[in-house]
C-alpha cells in the first residue's frame, strides 16, 4: 500500500499532510507526484473530485523549498479558470506549506490592484491567478514572468469553455522555455490536445479514469417534465424542484442547484427563499465579497442550498455535498460531469437529479453518449401529488351512462292546463294582472292599445317643431323669388 512517505516529498510537507488528516494518496496523486518531483512535464487526466489540486501543490512546495523569490518575479505560476478555484488552490497551499517559509499571492478580479501590487513587489514564490487578471498586471508593468520555474494549468477544459485558451497561449510565450509544466484536466478536447502538444515536452501522461466518466458513488436520475402550457414551464419547473427537495427530505443535508443562465440563478434563488428554503445565489455577476461570503456559508453548513451557474461547477472542493440538482440540463455535455462531481467526493456517496424538459432532450442524449451510460428515469413527484385528486374526481363524477336525461322545454299554452303545477299557475296569473294594468294606463292617456302605444323613451309630450315639414311650400317659394 503506497503512502505519501513513499512519494519522496519533503518531510515538512509530509508533516502538514498528516496534520490535515491524510495518509494515502489518491490514484492521480500517486501517478503525478513522482514524475513532477523529477522535474518532468505532467499531463494529468482525471475526473473531478479525485485530488488533482494536491497533485501539483505538494510537489511544487517540495521543489521550491530551495531558492528565494525576487521582486515582481514569481518563481511559480498556477492558472485557474475561476476566482473560486484560484482561492481554493491558495487555501491548499496555506495548508500544506505551513511548515515552510514560502510566500504566495492571489491575483483575481474583484480585489484592489493596489493590494495585489504590494504583494508582488515583495516577491512571491507562488503566484495563483486567473488569466485575465494576470495579464492586466503584466500589461501595467507590475509583473515579470521570466523567472517562472514551474507553471501549472488547472481545469484546462474549463479554460477552453470560457475562452481563455488564447490567453493561456500568450502566457506560455511569456514564460521561459525551460519551465516545468503541469497540465491537469478532467476531459481532453481536441483544442486542449493541440495546446499540450505545443507547450509540453515529453510529458508523463497520468490518466486514472476513462475520459469524462462519472463517479460510481453518485446515484444519478433524470425527471422528464412537460409543461401544461408553454408560458407555465418556468413556474412548473420551480415547483418540481421544490417537490424534489421535499421528497429527499432529511437525506438532503445540503445541495448545489445548477442553472444555465445567471438570470435564472437569481430567479430560482429568490423563489426558493420565498417558499421558506434556505437558499442563496452565486454567479459571475455578483460582487466578489458577496460570492466569498456565500461560498463560505455553504462550506461551513450555515447555508443549505447554493444556487449556482457553472462558475461553481469546476474545482470547488466541498466534501460533504449530499445532492446536486440540475435545474437546467447543461448545453455542454462535459459540464454535466463537473456539476455532479460536486457530490460523492472523497469516498462519500451522493445523488444527482436532473430536470429535463422537451427541448433539453438533445443535450441529455449528448450527455449519455459522453458518459457512455443511460441515466435512469425518476418519477416526477408532481405526478404523484396530482394522481390522488384525479382519482377522487373520477369517483365523484357520474359515468356517461348514468348521466341524467336532458330537461324538455315546456310547451307554451294559452291557458294553464289541468296538470299544470300551482307555481306555474300563480306566475301566469301575476303576468296577466300586469298586462291588464298596462292596458288601463294606455287607456287613461288616450292611446289605443297595441298600434298607438307611445314609443318607449320618448315621453308623453312631443315638441311642435318636430311635426313641422322642412320642405318649403310653393307659396313661400314665390314670395322669396319676388
| CATH (domain of 344) | 3.40.50.300
Q: Is residue 410 part of a domain?
A: no
pLDDT of residue 392: 45
pLDDT of residue 459: 56
CA nearest neighbour of 267 among 479, 275, 88: 275
Q: Is residue 311 part of a domain?
A: yes
Q: Out of 4-18, 75-89, 448-462, which region has the weakest mean confidence (pLDDT)? A: 448-462
Q: Is residue 238 part of a domain?
A: yes
Q: Is residue 468 part of a domain?
A: no
Mean pLDDT of 352-381: 93
Give the ranges where 66-153 is alpha helix by DSSP (H).
83-96, 113-122, 131-139
Q: Are residues 180 and 223 in the same domain?
A: no
Mean pLDDT of 466-473: 64
Q: Are residues 120 and 91 in the same domain?
A: yes
Last residue of a domain, one of 207, 238, 256: 207
384-394 pLDDT, tens digit each: 665 554 444 44
Domain ranges, residue 377: 218-382
CA nearest neighbour of 336 among 305, 359, 314, 361: 314
Q: Are residues 367 and 283 in the same domain?
A: yes
- Helix 361-371 × helix 333-340 angle, to 10°: 70
Q: Is residue 9 part of a domain?
A: yes
Mean pLDDT rounded to a whole number for the chain: 82
Mean pLDDT of 326-350: 85
Last residue of a domain, one of 181, 207, 233: 207
Q: Which residue is associated with the grid cell 462558475?
A: 311
Q: Are residues 195 and 240 in the same domain?
A: no
Q: Are residues 113 and 27 in the same domain?
A: yes
Q: Are residues 251 and 160 in the same domain?
A: no
Is the pLDDT reported for residue 345 higher than 60? yes
Mean pLDDT of 327-347: 85
Is the pLDDT reported for residue 432 higher than 70? no
140-197 pLDDT, tens digit each: 999 999 999 999 999 888 888 778 899 999 999 999 999 999 999 877 788 888 999 9
Q: Per-residue confidence at 264, pLDDT binned at 50, 70, 90?
A: very high
Q: Are residues 264 and 376 in the same domain?
A: yes
Q: Is residue 262 part of a domain?
A: yes
How many structural domains comprise the chain?
2
Q: Are residues 111 and 198 in the same domain?
A: yes
Q: Are residues 129 and 57 in the same domain?
A: yes
pLDDT of residue 437: 64
Q: Is residue 94 part of a domain?
A: yes
Q: Is residue 158 part of a domain?
A: yes
Last residue of a domain, one of 174, 207, 240: 207
Q: Are residues 190 and 289 in the same domain?
A: no
Q: Are residues 222 and 200 in the same domain?
A: no
- Determine what percent of the chain is predicted with pLDDT higher than 70: 76
DSSP element (H, E) containing 271: helix 262-274
Mean pLDDT of 218-236: 93
Beta bridge partners of 172: none
Q: Are residues 158 and 295 in the same domain?
A: no
Amino acid at each position: 500500500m503506497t503512502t505519501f512517505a513513499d512519494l519522496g516529498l519533503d518531510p515538512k510537507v509530509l508533516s502538514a499532510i498528516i496534520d490535515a488528516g491524510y495518509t494515502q494518496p489518491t490514484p492521480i496523486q500517486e501517478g503525478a507526484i513522482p514524475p513532477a518531483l523529477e522535474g518532468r512535464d505532467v499531463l494529468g487526466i482525471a475526473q473531478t473530485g479525485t485530488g488533482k489540486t494536491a497533485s501539483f501543490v505538494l510537489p511544487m512546495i517540495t521543489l521550491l523549498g530551495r531558492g528565494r523569490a525576487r521582486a515582481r518575479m514569481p518563481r511559480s505560476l498556477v492558472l485557474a479558470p475561476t476566482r473560486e478555484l484560484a482561492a481554493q488552490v491558495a487555501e491548499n497551499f496555506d495548508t500544506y506549506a505551513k511548515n515552510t517559509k514560502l510566500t504566495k499571492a492571489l491575483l483575481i478580479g474583484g480585489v484592489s490592484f493596489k493590494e495585489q501590487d504590494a504583494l508582488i513587489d515583495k516577491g512571491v514564490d507562488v503566484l495563483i491567478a486567473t488569466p485575465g487578471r494576470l495579464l492586466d498586471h503584466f500589461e501595467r508593468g507590475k509583473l515579470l514572468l521570466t523567472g517562472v520555474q514551474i507553471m501549472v494549468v488547472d481545469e484546462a477544459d474549463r479554460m477552453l469553455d470560457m475562452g481563455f485558451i488564447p490567453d493561456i497561449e500568450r502566457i506560455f510565450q511569456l514564460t521561459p522555455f525551460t519551465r516545468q509544466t503541469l497540465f491537469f484536466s478532467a476531459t481532453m478536447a481536441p483544442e486542449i490536445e493541440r495546446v499540450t502538444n505545443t507547450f509540453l515536452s515529453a510529458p508523463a501522461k497520468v490518466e486514472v479514469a476513462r475520459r469524462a466518466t462519472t463517479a460510481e458513488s453518485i446515484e444519478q436520475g433524470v425527471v422528464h417534465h412537460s409543461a401544461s402550457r408553454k408560458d407555465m414551464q418556468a413556474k412548473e419547473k420551480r415547483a418540481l424542484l421544490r417537490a424534489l427537495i421535499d421528497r429527499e427530505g432529511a437525506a438532503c443535508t445540503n445541495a448545489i442547484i445548477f442553472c444555465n443562465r445567471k438570470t435564472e440563478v437569481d430567479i430560482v434563488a429568490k423563489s426558493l427563499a420565498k417558499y421558506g428554503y434556505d437558499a442563496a445565489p452565486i454567479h459571475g455577476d455578483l460582487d466578489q465579497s458577496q460570492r466569498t461570503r456565500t461560498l463560505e456559508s455553504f462550506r461551513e453548513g450555515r447555508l443549505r442550498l447554493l444556487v449556482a451557474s457553472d462558475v461553481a461547477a469546476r474545482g470547488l472542493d466541498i466534501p460533504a455535498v449530499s445532492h446536486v440538482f440540475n435545474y437546467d440540463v447543461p448545453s455542454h455535455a462535459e459540464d454535466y460531469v463537473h456539476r455532479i462531481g460536486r457530490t460523492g467526493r472523497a469516498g462519500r456517496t451522493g445523488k444527482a437529479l436532473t430536470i429535463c424538459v422537451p427541448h433539453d432532450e438533445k443535450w441529455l442524449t449528448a450527455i449519455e453518449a459522453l458518459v457512455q451510460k443511460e441515466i435512469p428515469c425518476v418519477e416526477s413527484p408532481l405526478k404523484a401529488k396530482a394522481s390522488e385528486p384525479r382519482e377522487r374526481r373520477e369517483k365523484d363524477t357520474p359515468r356517461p351512462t348514468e348521466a341524467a336525461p336532458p330537461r324538455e322545454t315546456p310547451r307554451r299554452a294559452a291557458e294553464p292546463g289541468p296538470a299544470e303545477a300551482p307555481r306555474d299557475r300563480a306566475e301566469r296569473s301575476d303576468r296577466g294582472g300586469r298586462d291588464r294594468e298596462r292596458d288601463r294606463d294606455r287607456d287613461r292617456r288616450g292611446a289605443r292599445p297595441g298600434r298607438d302605444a307611445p314609443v318607449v323613451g320618448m315621453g308623453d309630450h312631443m315638441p311642435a317643431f318636430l311635426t313641422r315639414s322642412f320642405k318649403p311650400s310653393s307659396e313661400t317659394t314665390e314670395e322669396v323669388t319676388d
